[in-house]
Structure 1
Amino acid sequence: MSQAVVAVASHNPVKIRAAEQALAHSFADRPWQSRAHAVPSGVAEQPMSHEETRQGALNRLAALRQADPEADYYVAFEGGYDRLDGVPCTFAYVAVSDGHRTRVGRSAPLPLPPVIATRLEAGEELGPVMDDLFQQHNIKQRGGAIGILTGGLMDRASLYQDTLILQLAPFRFPELYPLNAE
């Protein structure tokens, strides 16, 4: 059985692991190999709205398809910030494609403390804010804000993985999700 290739729009090990695990669980009959690519999002380092975050994921996906046209699947993640009903939150958009079908979904939102929201709204990025506030280094390549604020009950990889698994349903059952109905 030949290996299937997933191209991932990041060198961040959290994102690579999430993509690999989601595809391995969703398509367990195939061995998976990942190829990481640093591709631009075309949006701010810290996207500040749902729209900007979603666009960043789609931009990365398009750039990824150009960078690695022979992959079987393409996955891009983009973390962002916005206020939901006035509550400051972080979340991610996940975009996935097999070259024919593309799906985009948003993760569950994580409410953020006001001290973090104030700094993000002043122009800082979530990862460095979390590093500073919790006296750690490179949190975003480990559990992220999610890991710290949930006390380790969840982390970035698990949230990204679960969101991607949900978006893979139409790829697992294409007969139930006609391309022209998406």
Structure 2
Amino acid sequence: MKIIVASKNPVKIDAARTSFASAFPAETLEVVAVDAPSLVSEQPMSATETRDGAVNRVKYCQQRHTADYYVSYEGGVDVLDEIPSTYAVVCIANKDRLQTGRTASLPLPNQIYQKLKAGGELGPAMDEMFNTVNIKQKGGAIGQLSNGLETRKSIYVSATLLSLSVFFYPNLYD
């Protein structure tokens, strides 16, 4: 089974590989990483923009590559229930269907949220606050702020597995 991941970020690649290995244990997986543009802001600041970024990455890959599945992850920020939060949208597609899902959300410290509203990106803002280097390719803000109880990868895997449900039972989701 060939899976195109619309990113060269090792966390996203590993999350897709882990998810598909769990979902399709009898399959031999070929996971290919592709740089794919989101066509949205570096730091999406709304649910719509975040979803659009994930969908755009998958569509870009579909137009240029042949695979059984295409997967993208787009991290976003929005005010959810009056709380500045970060989350990601996962987009999965095959030849018949395109499905999006969303990870759990993580409340953001106000000083981080203010930097993002001013045009910053979450990874560098977290690196600055916690004196880390390239946190977005490691545990991410989620790993840092949850004391490692969750990670960027763990929430990506969960959202991917849940989003795959429509591919397991397509007749229930028509």
TM-score clears 0.5: yes
1:59 aligns with 2:42: no
- Residues 24-48 of structure 1: CA distance to partner in whole angstroms, max 9, x if unpaired? 1111110111000001000000001
* Superposed CA offset, 1:68-119 (max 9, x none): 1x21100011000010122100000000011211110111110001111111
1:126 — aligned with what? 122
Q: Tell me the equivalent position of 2:9.
A: 12
Local SS of the residue matching 1:158? helix
Alpha-carbon distance in 1 for matches of 2:111, 2:80: 17
The aligned counterpart of 1:98 is 94
1:89 corresponds to 2:85: yes
Whole-angstrom distance in 1 between the partners of 2:152 and 2:95 = 26
Q: Are the counterparts in 2 of residues 26 and 172 from structure 1 also a CA contact under 8 Å?
A: no
Distance in 1 between residues matched to 2:62 and 2:171, nearest whole Å:
24
Q: Which amino acid aligns with 1:64?
A: C
Calculate the aligned-residue CA RMSD, in Å. 0.9
1:90-169 mapped onto 2 (5 Å cutoff):
90-169=86-165
The CA distance in 2 between the partners of 1:101 and 1:125, in whole Å, is 31
Aligned match of 1:33: 30
CA contact (8 A) 1:94 1:160 kept: yes
